[in-house]
Amino acid sequence: MQINVTFRNLDHSDTLREYAEAKLQKLEKHSDGPMDVNVVLRSEKFRNSAEVVVSGDGIRAAAREVQDDMKAAIDLVSDKIERQLKKFRDKQRSRRNSQHSHAPTVLPEETVKHDDYQVINVEKMDAKPMSVDEAVDQFHIMEKNFFVFLNANTNQVNVLYWRGDGALGLIEP
C-alpha cells in the first residue's frame, strides 16, 4: 500500500505525515491487492482539513473532514474511509455469495424403499436465502411443482407450490 501525503498552505511536518500514515495503514486489511492512498492536509485560516482518496483493487473511496485540530481531522477522515471500505467489501462478498448460489443444486435421483411405501425420486436442494417475491420469480423461471427456499425475513425454510385452483401456495413453519 502506497501512502502519499501532501501539505497545502501548511508547513511540511514529519510528525503529521507519520501520524497520517500510521492512522491510514490500518486500511490495508480491507484490501486484497495494491492500493494507493493520497492524503491532502490543508490549512485555511483557522480550519484544518484532511482529504483522503483511496484507489486500487477495484476500489475508489474518498472522504474529507474539517476540524480545528489537524490530528482530529485525520482521525475522523480515516474512520470515514474505513467505513466505506468495509461497506464495499461486504457488498462484494454478498454479491459473490449470491452469484455462486443462484440455482439450487439437485443431486441425482435415488430410489429409496421402506416397508410401507416406495419413494421413487429424492432431490436434495440448497435453500438460498431470499424474500418471498424473489422466490416467486425464481419459482416461475424453474417451472417446477414446488420451490424450497430460506426466507430472508424469518430465516426459516419455506415452500412455494401450485395449488389445485391454479394459485400459488406458501408453506411456512
C-alpha closest to that of 52 among 68, 36, 70:
36
Q: What is the mean pLDDT of the chain?
A: 80
Q: Is 118 found in the same domain as 80? A: no
The CATH number of residue 12's host domain is: 3.30.160.100
Cα distance between residue 78 and residue 54, in whole Å: 11
Domain holding 132, by residue range, is 112-171
Angle subtended by helix axes 14-24 and 70-100, to nearest 10: 20
Partners of 56 in the β-ladder: 59
Give the pLDDT confidence score for residue 118 in this predicted structure.
65
Antiparallel, parallel or unpaired: β 36-44 and 118-119: unpaired
Give the pLDDT confidence score for residue 41 in this predicted structure.
92
Q: C-alpha grid cell for residue 106?
A: 439437485
Tally the domains of the chain.
Answer: 2
Cβ–Cβ contacts within 10 Å for residue 37, how many?
24
* Mean pLDDT of all residues in 90-115: 61
The CATH number of residue 144's host domain is: 3.30.505.50
Residue 46: pLDDT band with limits 50, 70, 90:
confident
Q: Is 125 found in the same domain as 47? A: no
Q: Is 131 found in the same domain as 73? A: no
- R_g over Cα of the chain: 27
Antiparallel, parallel or unpaired: β 146-151 and 157-162: antiparallel
Position 106 in a domain? no
* Mean pLDDT of all residues in 59-66: 87
Give the pLDDT confidence score for residue 100 in this predicted structure.
55
Q: Is 52 found in the same domain as 22? A: yes
Global pTM reads 0.54
Residue 45: pLDDT band with limits 50, 70, 90:
confident
Give the pLDDT confidence score for residue 40 in this predicted structure.
92
Residue 151 has pLDDT above 80, yes or no: yes
Give the pLDDT confidence score for residue 18 in this predicted structure.
92
